[in-house]
Structure 1
């Protein structure tokens, strides 16, 4: 682990950059490289095959901690961009940054991978962890469980799962290097650093609450003793009149976890017509209560206001020198369509234009909850605000 030097650093400084194939970098690289600089990168999946701009970034920030991942579209200071790279830079004065990454080749390795990351980042003065993982091979619930097992319970955790146009398009940026099937995290260590997180949804319940009577991992076999497909199709059809193919993107499930007095959302990925099982975008414990949800474009955008209000309830929003990392679910784009750009703009306006913002659309969002433990969500907007105070 490298030791952070603070010589010559007058104050925390933030900056954002954009790279586009047609125009190149939006500005010259700022002189912010140091061992206490975080460079967070979201990039379109095609840069895995054309990594030259990522190499330029790495060469410009050789001492900095560089992490990030792929995503179909990126966000930068309120703008939604396709085929681009969004870069957020934050240089600290008093905060130490620790970086760790590890391979995750299969779901079964996820918890061990999380434990490894936690061991590398653990410190008595650790205040927060920003984590990204490959959405193909990682069971994110197990990953964050393993991570938290190694950390104090009050450490804030936020992040998301890399995404692409298909599951095969995902990749990670670990200490500036392109890698597949990995998880990467940075920890913020110090007495004056803050990682504040907030989430927003914009979904409403429909149908009747049912009990998940048979599950395994991400597979929901039965609801109230019936094939899950039959119950789901009946509730969606009776309330909205859509077929199953259309409903799976606009009608996710909310899962109520009684032990934590909270709910998490799960996207419907696929349905087995023969067995009646539903494959979800995240794990679902057996015995939990499940209910169908729906939304509209305007309600999804209301979820941005919800996230901003929750952020304001947790901290006084700074006027400058903070970096907001926004992770929204890829499924929200399916609902918003041409209004997707409004989500990024609303978040930027709500936080204040003095706060630099980068963002991505993910296969899952990771966030510490109001109940304490971090969880993996679908169909939410998660904002992580990083700053020194």
Structure 2
């Protein structure tokens, strides 16, 4: 595997992290600030600097490259696979009347299945219900094929997100990258470090990712009561106080970030499904807890690996970034210390992370986690 990484902050020149050499048909991952990705001159400059066919774009809430977390930047990681291969497919959720499950089914059907080892998803974050997307992708999947990925971001603006394959970045796009090969080794993990607090309650009315009632009370009213003075800072304050949701019949909880609030019907729209009869608690975090969570995720991802990873893709949640603030790079450093100083790292801060629970192969949508995908040939 050969890798070239470069970043460009604002109007500065490109900074390369390895010697710039020509690659053969690489997969090029471009993570960047949404406003920059809307600029045609910026896209033109990226294409000139990386004149390759298979370019995947995604907007972010912060770009991860090496041990750095940048804002208002473009980060590029070009990956040349030498013993394995990849296939990229795309669909637009606006062509499916925003039905993410149907889109997921269509995307999975397009991907060749022979020797398929792993799928990496890069999804837009404005219209797609991440839980439904995963359900569609996994509808007919081989249990040996794992899925990880992330939902694009837009800093803390939540205005719109962009993604694309080959084309210029646009709204509604969902990209699916299939990795193939006998020698390919992919490991992954996801962990948060947030702490539940307050009484455990029950979701008594919900529809997909819209939460209406908890314990028979309007969900938003109850949430505001717990937030106290912080309720005046909604919806952004909700990134600091997500929900811990344990669906009925499941042991492992998932964390759900609140994306929007509706004062008219007292509901909250979350980043993934919140099924009725699920148990629910509020969560909070400390900087040290989040950094430790990243370390645990890295330890899980490295646990049963046969070979050292050759590249690491990190997807972390914008809520973690807001809590850590100036110390945000500490969680990246925790990962680096665990996976190895020389392993190239790329990734982004997201509106949702996708990965199986540790020890499982079935994918879940997570919020507020550090999610790792480690790849080697």
TM-score, normalised to structure 1, is 0.88
Match of 1:182 among 162, 166, 173: 173
Q: Within 2, Cα distance between the matches of 1:234 and 1:196?
A: 41
Report the equivalent of 2:38. Answer: 49
Match of 1:300 among 290, 297, 314: 290
Report the equivalent of 2:72. Answer: 83
How far the C-alpha of 1:217 sits from its partner, in A, is: 2.1
Secondary structure, in 3 states, of the residue corresponding to 2:198? coil
| Superposition map of 1:6-155 within 5 A | 12-27=1-16, 29-34=20-25, 37-59=26-48, 61-105=50-94, 108-155=98-145
Secondary structure, in 3 states, of the residue corresponding to 1:94? coil
User: Aligned pair 1:381/2:370, yes or no?
Assistant: yes
User: Aligned pair 1:369/2:360, yes or no?
Assistant: no
Report the equivalent of 1:6. Answer: none
* CA shift digits 1:242-291 (9 cap, x unpaired): 54636523211111134342211111234334533222222211111111
Report the equivalent of 1:232. Answer: 223
How far the C-alpha of 1:176 sits from its partner, in A, is: 5.2
Match of 1:314 among 298, 304, 307: 304
TM-score, normalised to structure 2, is 0.90
How far the C-alpha of 1:228 sits from its partner, in A, is: 1.6
* CA shift digits 1:110-144 (9 cap, x unpaired): 11211121112141311101111110111111111
Q: Within 2, Cα distance between the matches of 1:272 and 1:120?
A: 37
Aligned residues: 370
How far the C-alpha of 1:216 sits from its partner, in A, is: 1.1
* CA shift digits 1:335-378 (9 cap, x unpaired): 11111122223322332121100121111111122333211111
How far the C-alpha of 1:234 sits from its partner, in A, is: 4.1
* CA shift digits 1:78-121 (9 cap, x unpaired): 01112211112221122121110011117732112111211121
Report the equivalent of 1:339. Answer: 327
Q: Within 2, Cα distance between the matches of 1:244 and 1:208?
A: 23
How far the C-alpha of 1:150 sits from its partner, in A, is: 3.6
- How large is the Cα RMSD of the aligned pairs? 2.2
How far the C-alpha of 1:60 sits from its partner, in A, is: 5.5
The answer to whether the 8 Å contact 1:328/1:362 transfers is yes
| Structure 1, unpaired ranges of 5+ | 1-11
Secondary structure, in 3 states, of the residue corresponding to 1:115? helix
Report the equivalent of 1:255. Answer: 245
Q: Within 2, Cα distance between the matches of 1:245 and 1:293?
A: 17
Report the equivalent of 1:163. Answer: 153
Q: Quickly say closer, same or farther: Cα 1:336–1:112, change in 2 above 3 A.
A: same
How far the C-alpha of 1:235 sits from its partner, in A, is: 4.3
The answer to whether the 8 Å contact 1:44/1:82 transfers is yes
The answer to whether the 8 Å contact 2:66/2:344 transfers is yes
The answer to whether the 8 Å contact 1:367/1:382 transfers is yes
Report the equivalent of 1:4. Answer: none
Report the equivalent of 1:354. Answer: 342
Q: Quickly say closer, same or farther: Cα 1:335–1:107, change in 2 above 3 A.
A: farther
Secondary structure, in 3 states, of the residue corresponding to 2:119? strand
Q: Within 2, Cα distance between the matches of 1:46 and 1:169?
A: 10
How far the C-alpha of 1:151 sits from its partner, in A, is: 2.3
Match of 1:288 among 258, 278, 281: 278
